[in-house]
Chain A
């Protein structure tokens, strides 16, 4: 039996625990500035591994000048702004740059959660080998995601922590729950280390594979039950860092001057969607079911009341 003394002891213990927690929390919060940042996730997140060659993000530069992702604006931005941060060390030596191309691109998996896999081939013309200061380069993949598909920035950060990517950036709509009719597009930028002294031709002909985890939003209603999402070609860049005369420089330049033509064709994702024709019957049956269930419960509660009432009458 739960005695008054036991109850008092339990209450006292609970109060002590809560008080200790409270004061400990205040104490720690006051010293919060000394604690290293762990897992902070902003709406538009970018995170760099210390070993990344290039700490600038193209998409960040784009969104400093533009409020939303529009393909024509982005293409215009690239043509005008790239190469980013013109490098003196590379003057007169920019052509020909290493050529990045997509050798293979497809969606892996089924359902609403898949990976967009891109195999990137790096080629350097033998005649282009030249002497340069020591440098480290990243292959930069920019995926302008179509409406109806999103990347989870926290998932990207988890992959970053596991070392799958060198660095990554995400910009755009971070509300993961909205259907596509209520959401905006987003963009993912992935940096992958392609090794040292790449421009000197040491790693010609290498291939790297990047898999970006993606998730489908609820598609707009359709007539046939599936909504098709098409992925445009990604934008590929090379970003390198050099030891300049006075300080470290980093340069980003486009691997090709025109959109890449994929050998395999566009990547498409068919997402199940609601059928408009269902609207009427679903609404009617939903409300009918709710009302019937509610009436059953109400009737049973009344019947229970009547039954005990009848028993009382019998006793009288």
Chain B
């Protein structure tokens, strides 16, 4: 019965996305305001240029890897909705991968299904793919990397990790927790890693002994000594090789245009135009002169500090670490656009089975605070952009409230989380079922 329920959920989700793709075509044709995201038009134009053998960067504001344009070449050759279908299929794949990860850890079927519903039936999620945003592809790749790690396929995980960092730079923040997870006690040659079961982690929580004592000084020293394990070296070398190969190949094809638009732009981006970030007004007010080094460092410090502390504390609980890191990365970033939210939405279902937060009323408090703060910001943004009112101060204060909402969500999740390292320690000398790490 539960299996049919998941199938029904996937079928319903697929039909829902198909409906919105068709509806989007109708709205684009008949209404002044398009359903399709502006970015999709950028992708399509870049893909059309690529189909003609030209550089996709001839299309201004195309700031992505050429791979995205390559994937959308059928937009120009077959039908313009090809890309939306591809993104929606990736969207469904994310749902499938979420279930896969949860089942690997022995999460009960009903809890799996509810968690998957958080992604598949999230209005934000299914509109983002059907409007033509490419983030579902990145989300699917991140989850696939987690699956590969959980199955001990280090080479695959490394390959896809190098590729996803090439596509979207932000997954670089996952490098440290992945490296820390590839501990010799978890990954040994010829042995499949053992995963912590959901039910056992719940029992350990009751006894209050769920976390690994990574604060133990002796443990830190041992960790430092054993830092350069075969698994870590392999993962680092292969992912770096894939990333630099892609970068080098596209630099050969498209030269500095590619490097600047697809890479450097994102690393140095400071957008003075209004966005969810608390920094937008500060950047606008200072745009006529260069920022001092101290100003750049001060704005960088909170982000780096939070990332390092979260990695140090939660690296062994990989999905939870990814979720918190992504949420923090977005919240403290200098530019925040709505599409960034998908980056942590895809990881949220992976942490829900381990939270002690009840929907009533802590869960509802998080949801309402977060959505309320966002809606509040959107209201002032509308007044500024579409009504021409001078509301810069109010909009900036709304962005402060949004940061407060993000902080509240992070703090609540941390306090209500049942620590559950993904991998158990392998005992030396015991022979497990041999599985190649490839």
Task: List chain A positions with a Cβ less than 8 A from chain B.
Answer: 1-2, 4, 7, 11, 21, 25, 28-29, 32-33, 35, 37-43, 110-113, 154, 174-177, 179, 181-182, 218, 220-221, 225-226, 270-276, 278-279, 282-283, 285-287, 289-291, 293-294, 296-298, 300-305, 308-309, 311-312, 314-315
The chain A residue with its CB closest to the CB of B151 is: A7
Per the bound structure, the CA–CA distance linking A112 and B381 in Å amounts to 11
Q: Are B403 and A293 in contact (CB under 8 A)?
A: yes
Q: Are A33 and B53 in contact (CB under 8 A)?
A: yes
State which residues 93-113 of B face A: CB under 8 Å.
Answer: 100, 103-104
- Using A41-B58, A300-B415, A304-B415 as known contacts, say yes or no to A311 and B53 having CB atoms under 8 A apart: no
17 intermolecular pairs with C-beta atoms under 8 Å apart: A1-B104, A11-B156, A32-B51, A35-B51, A38-B48, A41-B59, A41-B60, A111-B386, A154-B45, A218-B284, A272-B392, A289-B404, A291-B302, A297-B328, A301-B414, A304-B414, A308-B208
Per the bound structure, the CA–CA distance linking A28 and B76 in Å amounts to 11
- Interface band, chain B: 35 or more
Q: Are A283 and B285 in contact (CB under 8 A)?
A: yes
Q: Are A275 and B392 in contact (CB under 8 A)?
A: yes
- Using A37-B52, A308-B211 as known contacts, say yes or no to A21 and B71 having CB atoms under 8 A apart: yes
CB neighbours (8 Å) of A290 from chain B are 278, 299, 302, 332, 403
Against A, the Cβ 8 Å flags (1 = close, 0 = not) of B286-323 are 11100000000011011101100110011000000000
- Using A39-B48, A110-B386, A110-B388 as known contacts, say yes or no to A282 and B60 having CB atoms under 8 A apart: no
CB neighbours (8 Å) of B303 from chain A are 294
Q: How far is the CB of B128 from chain A (nearest CB, A)?
A: 21
CB neighbours (8 Å) of B165 from chain A are none
Q: How far is the CB of A284 from chain B (nearest CB, A)?
A: 10
CB neighbours (8 Å) of B385 from chain A are 111-113
The 10 closest A-B pairs by CB, nearest first: A311-B208, A294-B302, A111-B386, A225-B390, A272-B390, A111-B388, A290-B302, A293-B407, A308-B211, A279-B285
Task: List chain B positions with a Cβ less than 8 A from chain A.
Answer: 41, 44-45, 48-54, 58-61, 70-71, 73, 76-77, 100, 103-104, 151, 156, 207-211, 213, 215, 271-273, 278-279, 281-282, 284-288, 298-299, 301-303, 305-306, 309-310, 313-314, 328, 331-332, 384-393, 396, 400, 403-404, 406-407, 410-411, 414-415, 417, 419, 435
Main secondary structure of the interface of A (DSSP, over half): helix
Q: Are A289 and B278 in contact (CB under 8 A)?
A: yes
Contact partner, A2, options B103, B299, B306, Cβ 8 Å? B103
CB neighbours (8 Å) of B388 from chain A are 110-112, 270-272
Per the bound structure, the CA–CA distance linking A38 and B45 in Å amounts to 8
Per the bound structure, the CA–CA distance linking A311 and B386 in Å amounts to 55
Per the bound structure, the CA–CA distance linking A279 and B289 in Å amounts to 12
Q: How far is the CB of A212 from chain B (nearest CB, A)?
A: 16
Contact partner, B331, options A175, A293, A300, Cβ 8 Å? A293
Q: Are A300 and B414 in contact (CB under 8 A)?
A: yes
Contact partner, A28, options B51, B287, B410, Cβ 8 Å? B51
Q: How far is the CB of A2 from chain B (nearest CB, A)?
A: 5
Per the bound structure, the CA–CA distance linking A309 and B414 in Å amounts to 15
Given contacts A182-B287, A305-B313, 7 further A-B contacts (CB under 8 A): A181-B288, A226-B390, A274-B392, A283-B286, A294-B302, A297-B411, A308-B208
Q: How far is the CB of A235 from chain B (nearest CB, A)?
A: 26
Q: Are B387 and A287 in contact (CB under 8 A)?
A: no
Q: Are B284 and A29 in contact (CB under 8 A)?
A: no
Per the bound structure, the CA–CA distance linking A111 and B209 in Å amounts to 57
Per the bound structure, the CA–CA distance linking A303 and B412 in Å amounts to 12
Q: Are B282 and A35 in contact (CB under 8 A)?
A: no
Contact partner, B400, options A41, A43, A289, Cβ 8 Å? A289
CB neighbours (8 Å) of B48 from chain A are 37-40
CB neighbours (8 Å) of A225 from chain B are 390
Q: Are B419 and A176 in contact (CB under 8 A)?
A: no
CB neighbours (8 Å) of B314 from chain A are 301
- Using A291-B302, A298-B305 as known contacts, say yes or no to A311 and B209 having CB atoms under 8 A apart: yes
The chain B residue with its CB closest to the CB of A225 is: B390
Contact partner, A42, options B58, B332, B406, B419, Cβ 8 Å? B58
Q: How far is the CB of B58 from chain A (nearest CB, A)?
A: 7
Q: How far is the CB of A174 from chain B (nearest CB, A)?
A: 5
Q: Are B313 and A154 in contact (CB under 8 A)?
A: no
CB neighbours (8 Å) of B281 from chain A are 274, 278, 282, 286
Per the bound structure, the CA–CA distance linking A234 and B87 in Å amounts to 45
Q: Are B210 and A308 in contact (CB under 8 A)?
A: yes
Per the bound structure, the CA–CA distance linking A175 and B260 in Å amounts to 14
Contact partner, A297, options B73, B213, B309, B419, Cβ 8 Å? B309
- Using A272-B390, A294-B305, A304-B414 as known contacts, say yes or no to A315 and B208 having CB atoms under 8 A apart: yes
CB neighbours (8 Å) of A25 from chain B are 70, 73
Per the bound structure, the CA–CA distance linking A25 and B151 in Å amounts to 32
CB neighbours (8 Å) of A272 from chain B are 384, 388-392
Q: Are A309 and B215 in contact (CB under 8 A)?
A: yes
CB neighbours (8 Å) of A111 from chain B are 384-388
Per the bound structure, the CA–CA distance linking A207 and B306 in Å amounts to 64
The chain A residue with its CB closest to the CB of B413 is: A300
CB neighbours (8 Å) of A11 from chain B are 156
Q: Are A293 and B302 in contact (CB under 8 A)?
A: yes
CB neighbours (8 Å) of A218 from chain B are 272-273, 284, 287
- Using A25-B70, A282-B396 as known contacts, say yes or no to A296 and B411 having CB atoms under 8 A apart: yes
Contact partner, B287, options A33, A179, A293, Cβ 8 Å? A179
Q: Are A181 and B287 in contact (CB under 8 A)?
A: yes
Q: How far is the CB of B143 from chain A (nearest CB, A)?
A: 13
- Using A179-B284, A182-B287, A226-B390 as known contacts, say yes or no to A308 and B419 having CB atoms under 8 A apart: yes
Per the bound structure, the CA–CA distance linking A218 and B384 in Å amounts to 11
Q: Are B278 and A221 in contact (CB under 8 A)?
A: no
The chain A residue with its CB closest to the CB of B310 is: A301
Per the bound structure, the CA–CA distance linking A40 and B49 in Å amounts to 6
CB neighbours (8 Å) of B71 from chain A are 21
CB neighbours (8 Å) of A274 from chain B are 281, 284-285, 392
Q: Are B60 and A174 in contact (CB under 8 A)?
A: yes
Q: How far is the CB of B272 from chain A (nearest CB, A)?
A: 6
Per the bound structure, the CA–CA distance linking A279 and B392 in Å amounts to 12
CB neighbours (8 Å) of A285 from chain B are 400
The chain B residue with its CB closest to the CB of A284 is: B282
Q: Are B331 and A221 in contact (CB under 8 A)?
A: no
Q: Are B387 and A110 in contact (CB under 8 A)?
A: yes
Per the bound structure, the CA–CA distance linking A276 and B299 in Å amounts to 20
CB neighbours (8 Å) of B301 from chain A are 291, 294
Q: How far is the CB of A90 from chain B (nearest CB, A)?
A: 39
